[in-house]
Amino acid sequence: MSGSGKSSLAFGTIAAEAGRLVAESYPLFVRNRLPSTGRADVDGIDGLTFTTVVDQRPFTGNARSTVGTASDIAPLLRMVFSRIGSPSAGYSPAYSFNDPSGMCLRCEGLGAVDDINLDCLIDMSMSLNQGAIRFPTFAPGSYRWSRMVHSGLVDPATPLSDLPESALNTLLYGEDVVLAKPDPEYPKTSKFDGVIPRLRNSYLRKSPSHLTKDEKEALLRVVTHKTCSCCRGSRLSEAARSSLIDGLSIADWSALPISELRSVVEMTHEHRVSPLLAAISDRLEAMDGAGLGYLSLDRHSTTLSGGEAQRVKIVRHLGSALSDVCYIFDEPSVGLHPHDVHRLLRLLAGLRDAHNTVLVVEHHPAVIAAADHVIDLGPGAGTNGGSVQFEGTPAQLAATNTATGLMLRERVHINSNPRAHSQSVTIEHATAHNLRDITIDIPLRALSVVSGVAGSGKSTLAAHELPAQHPQFTVIGQEPLHGGSRSTSTTVLGISDHIRRAFARANHMSPSWFSANAKGACPVCKGKGVIVTDLAFLDDVNTPCEACKGTRFNPTALAAQYRGRSIADVLAMNASQACDVFGRIRDITASLEWLQDVGLGYLSIGQATDTLSGGERQRLLLAKCLTVTPSPSTLHIVMDEPTAGLHGSDTDKLLELFDRLVNLGATIVVIEHNQRVIGHADHVIDIGPGAGHEGGTIVYQGPPSGLLTAPGSMTGRYLQQTRSVAYPDGASWGVSTERVTPR
């Protein structure tokens, strides 16, 4: 079940201990520069091999990272064009938007330019004294305002529209201007920079470490983000764009969907680069086989979901010559339509058959069915989990009465009595991304599911077009939360202040004593709970703070108690335990009850939100939304794959919550692949039939029962299978049943 300890076993024990032992094989000089972890908390462990973790963390690359660079295909393309492109732009760096010799100089290889909208920034009818520059750092009385006022360039009491054109131009656009007659208050040795250069240098050419709320709002108002008019978004120089192979440039190749690029590469015949073309073709075939054929190589890697990023990482490992490696995957099926799961399983089987160990943390029945060996943890979550319930073959697991065994035996139920709806909202002429002028009704006071293969346009329709045309809909996604390591479930839910006040009243102290960001902070780790060691060229190393034992609080704060518990004790509790402590304070318990209802009752309420999965973050935001919503009848929400990371039994609990809310008048739209959710819906909108340019149309809309026979619907085909077959056979999903012979 979710929270039963799967990740702790796979990542926190096996992967961590293998990494520690590998690090110990290096000389001391090298070990001192590697991240260090303590020994695994086990009685004994052996048989470990070199281990690599392929998780769902989205790519953290900056704006210069694309699918091509992340998959290591882009360097191969550059080499091909540098050798047979005509006319040649030069060596391979001349085809790289990350190299000065190949990048577009207008956008510096970013494909887009940020600029200042002067009409939004300047009020020409006002003077400097009246606040003509509508930006916080240029407001009257500010430092930069005083620099302009005392520059001697213009009369600060004169409206900008009445100023001489030359003086106004210098005020706005001047750079390194030597002032003729500045006021005595102006620094004697300083040169003058105008408003626009100041803003560009401070906010556009670099990212400030801290922005105030007013600055963020002002930047959204005055800064425009446009595709570069010079390179038209390709990021490349004119020479690189003009170098062609069979009439196509490297920018054209990179903009094609991977499934189409495969055909282009296969049709390119040139013996001078045949090894490069073969390597590119193999990589593209693996990407297409992983269900990523709808992506293009020029897509920003930061826009990929966690599941997409993980599959790109899988492809990078497929060509490795290493064997006897242990690969650990974190729910690789997340974000995949059942149609694509068999492709994923073939990739995993390929790694296994190359004499490697593949360890997968999963809930998907088809992935479990394809395994050679299953370890089932439970019986519950959190403190109720952590025990091995079963280990053996998938068929043996399906015969047990564990939560997973029951899930494997249970057929998908189709809602034969969907809620009737008399009202709806209409999405009109949706054309964003790959959508093909879609106009469709979304029922109100119903549970609607938007389904379809990955890349078909589900999120574009439901999470972008719907709220854009109907702002009453709130999108609850899986994006990282603000606050970093100092943000917890209590701060997101808005109950941390209530907890602090409860401790403050009980101990006659200031509430700030019970905040790890104020008086209560441990003086050694500054309230972080860990000591962060900066290794410069490597990732930072976090070690638990020995002074506070990771609690984040100082001795004074820890000595104070509420009903026999310290603030650290309370934050280490799950929602149910905390409700028992604060039972009489509804401002606290009401939010904690929602936390349990959304399936996060196993989390400690003080756990940092940057350690949560995307699905956990999304359900936490749902709990917050339910806390602040005065009535379910006013609730209009869109959720993108809320069952990500959920066991089948937890999915059923989430569906019970959805039913409860809809019965009270809520409108819920869910983007999902999960067959249980699709079958449970009142209304299904299936988009496809394929991904990318092959998708973007409505394949079916109506009750889930009609989806079973909808022509051309891949979702309906697989829903029919899971409805009639309780336990999916791994071989039926296209997985090789041949096993590696032990050596």
Give pLDDT, residue 743: 31
Write out the residue range of the structural domain in which residue 275 sits: 67-111+230-292
pLDDT digits (tens, 9 = 90+) for 462-477: 999 999 999 999 999 8
Both 538 and 601 in one domain: the answer is yes
Residue 46 within a domain: yes
Both 240 and 95 in one domain: the answer is yes
- Can you give the CATH number for the domain in which 682 is found? 3.40.50.300
**Of 581, 608, 635, which residue sits at a domain end?**
608
- The CA angle 722-697-636, to the nearest 5 degrees, is 75
To the nearest whole percent, how much of the chain has pLDDT over 90?
56
Both 130 and 190 in one domain: the answer is yes
Both 180 and 328 in one domain: the answer is no
Both 495 and 594 in one domain: the answer is yes
pLDDT exceeds 70 at position 208: no
Both 642 and 715 in one domain: the answer is yes
Mean pLDDT of 260-288: 93
Give pLDDT, residue 61: 59
Residue 362 within a domain: yes
pLDDT bracket for residue 74 (50, 70, 90): very high
Which residues have a Cβ under 8 Å from the Cβ of 290 and sit 6 or more positions away?
A: 311, 312, 314, 315, 340, 343, 344, 347
Both 564 and 594 in one domain: the answer is yes
Residue 450 within a domain: yes
- Can you give the CATH number for the domain in which 145 is found? 1.10.8.280
pLDDT digits (tens, 9 = 90+) for 95-120: 999 999 999 998 889 898 888 888 89
| Cβ atoms of 375 and 391 closer than 8 Å | yes
pLDDT digits (tens, 9 = 90+) for 124-167: 999 999 999 999 999 998 888 998 889 889 899 999 999 999 99
Give pLDDT, residue 240: 96
- Can you give the CATH number for the domain in which 90 is found? 1.20.1580.10
pLDDT digits (tens, 9 = 90+) for 377-431: 999 887 888 999 999 999 999 999 999 999 988 888 999 999 988 899 999 999 9
Residue 741 within a domain: no
Q: Among the residues of 470-610, which ranges form H helices?
A: 489-493, 496-507, 555-559, 567-571, 575-581, 586-597
Which residues have a Cβ under 8 Å from the Cβ of 527 and sit 6 or more positions away?
A: 486, 515, 516, 517, 520, 521, 552, 553
Both 623 and 718 in one domain: the answer is yes
Both 93 and 237 in one domain: the answer is yes
Residue 743 within a domain: no
Measured between alpha carbons, how far is 265 from 287 in angstroms, rounded to an integer?
14
Both 123 and 180 in one domain: the answer is yes
- Please tell me whether residue 254 adopts helix, strand or coil conformation: helix
**Of 292, 322, 339, which residue sits at a domain end?**
292
pLDDT digits (tens, 9 = 90+) for 578-613: 999 998 899 999 999 999 999 888 889 999 888 887
Residue 1 within a domain: no
How crowded is the C-beta side of 622, counted as CA atoms within 13 Å? 30
Measured between alpha carbons, how far is 200 from 196 in angstroms, rounded to an integer?
6
pLDDT digits (tens, 9 = 90+) for 318-354: 767 788 999 999 888 887 888 888 888 888 888 899 8
Mean pLDDT of 634-659: 91
Q: Is the dihedral of CA 290, 296, 298, 299 positive or negative?
A: negative
With CA atoms as reference, report the closest residue to 344 among 357, 322, 329: 329
Residue 496 within a domain: yes
Average pLDDT, the chain: 88
Measured between alpha carbons, how far is 240 from 236 in angstroms, rounded to an integer?
6
Q: What is the pTM of this model?
A: 0.78
Backbone angles phi, psi at 610, to 5 degrees: -75, -5
With CA atoms as reference, report the closest residue to 361 among 377, 380, 385: 377
Both 245 and 282 in one domain: the answer is yes
Residue 514 CB neighbour total at 10 angstroms: 29
Two tokens at 678?
């699709």
The number of folded domains in the chain is 5
Residue 604 within a domain: yes
Mean pLDDT of 280-302: 88
Both 352 and 400 in one domain: the answer is yes
- Please tell me whether residue 426 adopts helix, strand or coil conformation: strand
